[in-house]
Amino acid sequence: AQSVTQLDSQVPVFEEAPVELRCNYSSSVSVYLFWYVQYPNQGLQLLLKYLSGSTLVKGINGFEAEFNKSQTSFHLRKPSVHISDTAEYFCAVSPSGSARQLTFGSGTQLTVLP
C-alpha cells in the first residue's frame, strides 16, 4: 500500500515569489508520482508526472518537481507565481505499472497574494 503526506495544508505567497509545495510518500514498491491542480469549483487537472528516468520533471504552467528516492519526496516548485496559480494542489502516487491505483495526499491550498 502507498501513502502520501503533504506537509503544508496552506501556503500563502506573494505574486512573483518562488514557491515550493512539499510531498512525501511511503511505499514498499516502486512508484509513479503525480501532481494535480484543482482550481475553484473545477475538477483536477494533471500538472506533471514522474514515471522513470530524469528525476527533474517539468509540467504545465511553469511548474516542475524533483523526485528524490532517498528522501521519498516529490516536491513541486515554481520560480515565480501568478495570481492565477491560486488553487488546491494534490500530490498522488501509484504503484509503477499501475497508474490507475492513485492514492492522493490531503492537498495544499496555494494562495497567491498581490
Give Cβ neighbours of residue 1 (< 8 Å, ≥ 6 apart).
27, 28, 103
Annotate 49-65 with b (16+ C-beta within 10 A) or e (fewer).
bbeeeeeebebeeebbb
Among 83, 97, 111, 113, binds another protein (CB under 8 A): 97
Number of residues that bind another protein (CB under 8 A): 24
Is residue 98 within the footprint of another protein (CB under 8 A)? yes
Is residue 99 within the footprint of another protein (CB under 8 A)? yes
For another protein, what does the binding mask look like between residues 3 and 32, x meaning CB under 8 A? -----------------------------x
Is residue 60 within the footprint of another protein (CB under 8 A)? no
CB of 49 to another protein, least distance (A): 7
The radius of gyration of the chain's CA atoms, rounded to the nearest angstrom, is: 13
Among 88, 78, 99, smallest CA distance to 33 is for 99
Q: What is the DSSP letter of 40?
A: T
Residues forming the site for another protein (CB under 8 A): 32, 36, 41-46, 49, 51-52, 88, 90, 94, 96-102, 104, 106-107
